[in-house]
Copies of this chain bind each other. A is one copy, B any other.
């Protein structure tokens, strides 16, 4: 009996027959382990034709199993397996501050048109799946390891609703069952020999064997309008009449401006508005309360939402933005949970007849951190707080991001944290918090880090915002992600500066004090098409591909999508990140300690420079300088001040430096005469130089 699911997967693949004549290709970046299969043909467009069973089995045998150590269980979180607990003075899960995070959406990241039909099929010519699966995602792990990634962050992998789905496939954010995995992630290669849960277990084992942690994305605030909790908990939801659903709209408040904050003062105006009264009048009592006897029949229906419409004329009310007068229409695929069983304490007096007003969605009820009721929905809170533990126990995950955690009741957040850290005392949480000013409170809440606004500022190089971000990040009270893009934003490679600037910032992001490098899926191959138009995007961002590209106008979050892994320059970023991996490792302590850091300033706002000082008695090899020219068009000369270097070296005349890495030239050693304690360095357009003294 194999003890690991990875071994079971290998055995299952090895037992498969008849796949040696299947025409199956993978992008060559999926082969970072020098695969030596009997079928192993490089096609002219950077793909490799392989026998899929042999390829994935060889991958497991070559990359993962040799790292197996019988004393350590890769099925547990890394900290638990190693028996690590947080160091004194640090928070549980603070390992995340030293990590390099790769964000992946398995369905898209591991998608490939293996039969090259031009269509990304669920079942291709040979009965194989072309959208992503956990099994196929294994092939990306060696590439991630090459790039120094040590934390795999996954967009939601739970079962989601297909009702009124967006795009070809629907959004994984419309979760319909928190416990079950998205059945589309099951690989048909293993057939019935393995379950989807086992394949995810195998994936986690593989990550852990490579010393990579795994984080998932959980969404306790919203849920799909069609979901598995309705049956037993109709009272956890907001209801409107099905026959009036087409009139459901974001209420318009003339007395407040666009995107108004739900302050108490504003909420008074909201409740006074005529359109809000119209809106409130739409809400209904939940069906079970309306007719408990009928409910016993209706709840057994397979298509429960349809049955509720037929028998009660009720439908779950869609969610909408918590800003007052947000121009976005309602999000028809998702809804909010009722966090409290009564109306908000602070605003219920604004209601004309609170006792006879059914539960309703409004800017206050959905912002339950600011507007709590008196009766917490304990049963719901327990359910939500059990999601992470369930994934910890079944799969041994290492951390989680809490989607919209800041809109949840603080007690619920604490329940979630406490339950998770009771199981794994080193479990990490990331706050979906974009505002740097909220860093301190997030940290106080127990989050290890916040997302921050790097992806908004870093792309704005020419407005000086990137400069601002890079120099200010160290002052934040929590670590932030350093990234120019996320799954919600446009791609760096599609912005001004294009591939050049994408590469420049990807490297610079690895050395930002207080920053956690975050690589968005396919950023490493200069993917141009965003995955979603959620943040900082316009309609034009939908069309970043040539119009004869099979994925033109498609978004990975909703549609069948494969990344452009065969890009001609696909190895540039992986090779670059591989080269600087040992440098980052050597200076990790200094990167985490702001006292060892000195910024290098210049008039030029397109220049960013950092210096890190090691506390050693050696006279050389103790200062690292990162010098980045964010101008993708023009070269520049820099004259960093290096008195500490000169003083340490006790040589007043010259200084010797080592160019450890450059995006533009090979490493070399150089000696310079010093003038006014400054050296003279040339940086090409978009160049990053990493120099050690």
Bound Cα distance from A125 to B42, whole angstroms: 14
Q: Given contacts A39-B125, A125-B39, A550-B44, are A117 and B21 in contact (CB under 8 A)?
A: no
Known: A21-B125, A126-B21. A118 touches B39 (CB 8 A): no
Assess the B118–A23 pair: CB atoms within 8 A.
no
**A3-24 to B contact mask, C-beta < 8 Å, 1/0:** 0000000000000000001110
Nearest-Cβ distance from residue A676 to partner chain B, whole angstroms: 50
Q: How far does the alpha carbon of A39 sit from the alpha carbon of B21 in the complex, in Å?
A: 18
- CB pair A126 B41 closer than 8 Å: no
Shortest A613–chain B CB gap in Å is: 46
Contact with B along A161-200 (1 / 0, CB 8 A): 0000000000000000000000000000000000000000
A95-134 contacts to B, CB under 8 A, are 115-119, 125-127
Q: How far is the CA of A548 from the CA of B568 in the complex (A)?
A: 11
A114: min CB distance to chain B, Å: 9
- Take A23-B23, A125-B23, A126-B23 as given contacts and tell me if A118 and B550 are in contact as well, using a CB distance cutoff of 8 Å: no
Chain B residues near A21 (CB, 8 Å)?
Answer: 125-127
> A residues 421-455 with Cβ under 8 Å of B?
none
Q: Is the CB of A118 within 8 A of B44?
A: yes
- Which residues of B sit under 8 angstroms from A49, Cβ to Cβ? 115, 117, 125
Interface of A: prevailing SS: loop
Q: Does A43 contact B (CB under 8 A)?
A: yes
A674 shortest CB reach to chain B, Å: 47
A130 to chain B, nearest CB (A): 13
> What are the residues of chain B within 8 A of A117 when measuring CB–CB?
41, 43, 49
Q: How far is the CB of A44 from chain B (nearest CB, A)?
A: 4
CA distance A13 to B39 in the complex (A): 28
The interface residues of chain B lying within 8 Å CB-to-CB of A41 are: 117-119
With a cutoff of 8 Å between Cβ atoms, the chain B residues found around residue A126 in the complex are 21, 23
What is the bound-complex CA distance between A203 and B216, given in angstroms? 62
Residue of B nearest to A25 (CB): B116
Q: Would you list which residues of chain A between 513 and 560 have a CB under 8 Å from chain B?
A: 548-550
A256 to chain B, nearest CB (A): 49
Q: What CA separation (Å) do A683 and B116 show in the bound complex?
A: 43
Tell me the smallest distance from the CB of A439 to a CB of chain B, in Å.
Answer: 46
Expressed in whole angstroms, the Cα–Cα distance for A548 and B25 within the complex equals 19
Alpha-carbon separation in the docked complex, A127 to B23 (Å): 12
B39 lies within 8 A of A116 (CB): no
A34-91 CB contacts (< 8 Å) to partner B: 39, 41-44, 49
Which of B23, B25, B116, B127 lies in contact with A43, CB distance below 8 A? B116
In the complex, chain B residues whose CB is within 8 Å of the CB of A125: 21, 23, 39, 49
Q: A39-B125, A125-B39 are in contact. Are A23 and B550 (CB under 8 A)?
A: no
Task: Compute how far the CA of A39 lies from the CA of B126 in the bound complex, rounded to whole angstroms.
Answer: 13
Task: For A549, list chain B residues within 8 Å (CB).
Answer: 44
Q: How many angstroms from the CA of A41 to the CA of B23 in the assembled complex?
A: 15
| In-complex Cβ contact of A118 among B22, B42, B127 (8 A) | B42
| A44 CA to B566 CA, complexed, in Å | 15
Among A378-408, those with CB < 8 Å from B are: none
When C-beta atoms are compared, the residue in chain B nearest to A121 turns out to be B41
CB nearest to A43 among chain B residues = B118
Q: CA separation between A22 and B125, bound complex, in Å?
A: 8
Q: How long is the Cα–Cα vector from A21 to B21 in the complex, in angstroms?
A: 10
For A43, the chain B residues whose CB sits under 8 A away are 116-118
Q: How far is the CA of A23 from the CA of B548 in the complex (A)?
A: 23
CB pair B115–A44 under 8 Å, yes or no, is no
Nearest CB in chain B to that of A119: its residue: B41
Q: Which residues of B contact A39 (CB under 8 A)?
A: 125
Q: Please give, as numbers and ranges, the residues of chain B lying within 8 Å of A548 by CB-CB distance.
A: 44
Q: Give the residues in chain B near A44, CB-CB below 8 Å.
A: 118, 548-550
Which among A39, A42, A117 has the highest number of chain B CB atoms within 10 Å? Answer: A117
Interface residues of A in 123-165 (CB under 8 A from B): 125-127
A548–B566 CA distance with the chains assembled, in angstroms:
14
Q: Which residue of B lies closest to A549 (CB)?
A: B44
Question: In angstroms, how far is the closest chain B Cβ from the Cβ of A118?
Answer: 4
* List of B residues within 8 angstroms of A116 by Cβ: 23, 25, 43, 116
Q: How far is the CA of A126 from the CA of B18 in the complex (A)?
A: 12
A118: B residues at CB distance < 8 A: 41-44
Inter-chain CA distance A21–B23, complex, in Å, is 10
Task: Name A551's closest neighbour in chain B (CB-CB).
Answer: B44
Report which residue of A21, A23, A41, A119 has the largest number of chain B beta carbons within 10 angstroms of its beta carbon: A23
A18 to chain B, nearest CB (A): 10
Distance, CA A383 to CA B23, complexed state (A): 48
Measured in the bound complex, the distance between the Cα atoms of B549 and A125 in whole Å is 28
Give bound CA distance, A39 to B49, whole Å.
Answer: 21
Report chain B residues within 8 Å CB of A115: 23, 49
Measured between beta carbons, the chain B residues less than 8 angstroms from A127 are: 21
| CA A437 to CA B25, docked complex, whole Å | 58
Query: With A41-B117, A41-B119, A49-B117 given, can you name 6 additional A-B contacts, CB distance below 8 Å?
Result: A23-B115, A23-B125, A39-B125, A43-B118, A44-B118, A49-B125
Q: What are 5 A-B pairs with beta-carbon distances under 8 A?
A: A21-B126, A23-B125, A25-B116, A49-B125, A116-B116
Interface residues of A (CB under 8 A from B): 21-23, 25, 39, 41-44, 49, 115-119, 125-127, 548-550
Closest 6 A/B residue pairs (Cβ):
A23-B23, A43-B118, A44-B118, A41-B117, A44-B550, A23-B115
